[in-house]
Amino acid sequence: MTVLITGLGVLSCTGAGTDAFWAGMRAARSAPRRAADPHADMEHPLMYSVPDADVPADPAECDGLPLGDASRYALAAAAEALADAGLGAGPDATLDAVADPSRVAVVVGTGMGDSGLHERWHLDGAPPGTRWAPVFSPAAVIGARFGASGANTSVSNACAASGFGLSIAADLIRSGEADVVIAGGVEAYSRVALGCFNRLGAIDPLRCRPFDRERAGTVFGEGAAILVLESAEHAEARGAAKRYAALAGAGWSCDAYHSTAPEPGGGQIARAMRQALDDAGIKPADVGAVIPHGTGTQLNDVVESGVLTEVLGPEGPPLYSLKALVGHTGGAAGALAALAGALIIANRQIPPSVPRGEPDPRCPVLLPDAPVPLEGSSVLVNAYAFGGNNVSLVLQEAGS
């Protein structure tokens, strides 16, 4: 069964909306700033933050429960995605355009969820009369807000969360459990998360610069990416106007090598990539672009570069380094990469990555410094996480 991407919504350091996101990709310019947190007492309190002007002001609660930034970001991205798919418009939209809302599911990946809300309450105190609020609430909040009464699922296996979530969403459609899935990922500022990575010595003091010889770690970013997935039959029956791409294949693996470090040989990373290609029924030569996990940490970039050469060949396709633009968005990274991949396919163009300094000779990958046409029918997306959780996705032209 073909699973189509028929709507997109996004919020990141580039601003709100897919137009701003694509313009940011093409401009290839960004920089982190100090986190807007007076209590960020750490060596490198840097973030690729959502611009203040684009931070959603409302809603502040859902069904009487207060919402943190992650849930609010996810709601904003979901509203755009549903409007883009023709399934509702505006902040008060519902799923009236869907014959059976019980056939609409929600799957959202996030590493920290609304933990930032609880961090604020710990220091500043909760507002009077505030009830307990769940941390991993974005999926349920989207379901409640828009009336999606199918399965509402939160996935939280760290930085691969939304990559796995998109694969689960496709499985819900292929298994017949859902006709439409509102799927993606979200991450908002967390003092605990940023503080932990500072303690690990894993923050680059300048910016996120994957595959750069002088890279010194990663830099976190905020963001939400929501994609509307639906079966081709359902899209055809309702006359869906847009078909950005098809989510054609997925591969999962876990090397369980170390709690934080990737397995140096990359065997399980290669397994996930090959499984995704096989699931999509394509050959390595069909891959026209790769959006790598590419965090800017020393070992990750070297291992992933080697495996890309192993799986796709020494003359492999160009890479688009999304994290160099928006930072490492944690549990939202896979969804933001998939959304970027859908735009690359829809526009048949690979934008330039944010320029590196001196390339790392141990990372023999091609990062174009100017827009290039997309050759081939498919885009490969990688997302990895602590604990050795690996997922690869294949996006294809909708007609492939």
Q: Active-site residues: which are they?
A: 159, 293, 328
Find out whether 139 and 153 touch, Cβ atoms under 8 Å.
yes
Reduced to 3 states (helix: H, G, I; strand: E, B; else coil), residue 390 is: strand
Query: E strand or H helix at 7, and its extent?
Result: strand 3-12
- The answer to whether the peptide bond before residue 59 is cis (omega within 30 degrees of 0) is yes
Which structure tokens are listed for 88? 């509702």
- E strand spans, 13-148: 15-16, 33-34, 46-47, 61-62, 65-66, 104-109
Dihedral (CA of 200, 204, 210, 215) sign? negative
What are phi and psi for residue 390, nearest 5 degrees?
Answer: -125, 135
What are phi and psi for residue 83, nearest 5 degrees?
Answer: -65, -40
Of 72, 82, 309, give the one whose Cα is nearest residue 211.
309
Find out whether 8 and 244 touch, Cβ atoms under 8 Å.
yes
Find out whether 228 and 84 touch, Cβ atoms under 8 Å.
yes
Give the pairing of strands 223-231 and 180-187: antiparallel
Find out whether 297 and 217 touch, Cβ atoms under 8 Å.
yes
DSSP 123-187: HH-PPTTPPP--SS-HHHHHHHHHT--S-EEEE-SGGGHHHHHHHHHHHHHHTTS-SEEEEEEEE
Judge residue 99's burial from the number of C-beta atoms within 10 Å of its C-beta, 0-12 exposed, 13-18 middle, 19 or more buried: exposed
Of 145, 6, 15, 23, give the one whose Cα is nearest residue 79.
145
> Which residue has 């080697």 as its token pair?
306
